Amino acid sequence: MQTPIRFLPLFIALFGLTMSYKVEPLPDSYAGLGEGPHWDVATQSLYYVDLEAGKLLRYDFKENKVYKTQIEGEKLAAFVLPIQGKPQEFAVGCARRVVVVKWDGVSPVAKVVRTLFEVQKELELNRWNDAKTDPRGRFFGGTMRYVGNEFQFRHGELYKWEAGGEVSIVKGDVGISNGLAWDEKINKFYYIDTTDYEVKSYDYDFETGVASNPKVIFNLRKTSPEDHLLPDGLTIDTKGNLYVATFNGATIFKVNPRNGEVLLEIKFPTKQITSAAFGGPKLDILYVTTAAKFDQPEPAGTTYQVTGLNATGYPGTYLKA
């Protein structure tokens, strides 16, 4: 049967066909442990980190170019969150501190200008891992043990912080605090502790920032522990579907959180997929960070863009600090 071009979208919708997606590397985008992608609308840029190198990176969409900077005196940079009203200031997770780093987005060196807060001062083997701002500008982020076995030593915690207030613990007994996402349409918060091999949903009060009633909505366990997939970073599209990165699976799963159904498996030419964020002028490009840990071969550590997903997401929210 021949289908006229003008009826092709209807044909696709009726017969459940999906458009093909395209995975492409960003130029000179390597990060040994790429993490924390955050799309900034004002600069049309993707910010992310090279976590174990203490570096920030910025992909300029218009220039199709990646700028990199070393944070002076720091060896770790777990996340990068632009601060509201201060275009050259970013909240960055350095060890167990959340510091404000000043960077013009171009210079090869950036400087810490002040510390917002610090957690777990006595746990020197812990560090920050993933963090984001909720849609109201609150900080949410968690820690993990980075020396030794994170699955055995569950010394991490998930924290919340608001400008003018004290940092508070949202959840204890965390192995590797990872992906976070929110859905204002249905008042939900989604969270990943990698060592639990699952994604949990919480009821979320956007006025108070309180999460409650955890429920497993996506399970990545296989038949034997050696085969369990490791969920890492997380993002959400405007229809409420989740995009779950797998650190050992070369895949991002597009998941319907209402029933746990996998809607799409997005495949990559490298194994350690760390996180994802929507961006681009139309917020329809999925940017994906990867890692090159444990002697992974090229192209490990490359940052990718995925187009043709027929989905849009949300830009990153500025931190109120």
pLDDT of residue 287: 99
**pLDDT at residue 19 tops 60:** no
Quick count: other Cβ atoms within 10 Å of Cβ 286? 28
Which sign, positive or negative, has the C-alpha torsion 46, 249, 309, 259? negative
Q: Which residues are annotated as a binding site?
A: 35, 127, 129, 178, 232
Q: How does pLDDT run across 247-294, given as a tens digit for each residue?
A: 999 999 999 999 999 999 999 999 999 999 999 999 999 999 999 999
For residue 44, what pLDDT is reported? 98
Domains within the chain, CATH numbers bracketed: 22-307 (2.120.10.30)
What's the pTM value of the predicted model, to 2 decimals? 0.93
Note the pLDDT tens digit of each residue in 140-172: 999 999 988 888 889 999 999 999 999 999 999
Q: What is the DSSP letter of 14?
A: H
The residue among 141, 151, 145 whose CA lies nearest residue 122 is 145
Q: Is 232 a catalytic residue?
A: yes
Confidence of residue 15 (pLDDT cuts 50, 70, 90): very low
Of 50, 196, 232, 284, which residue is the catalytic one? Answer: 232
Task: Output the pLDDT for position 10.
Answer: 44
Secondary structure tally for the chain: helices H, strands E? 1, 24
Nearest to 304 by CA among 31, 76, 19, 18: 31
Q: How far apart are CA 169 and CA 94, in angstroms?
A: 18
- Which candidate, 85, 89, 83, places its Cα nearest to that of 104? 89
State the chain's mean pLDDT as an integer: 94
SS3 state of residue 7? helix
Per the annotation, binding residues for a divalent metal cation are 35, 178, 232
Determine the pLDDT at residue 315.
Answer: 97
Q: Are 70 and 109 in contact (CB under 8 A)?
A: yes
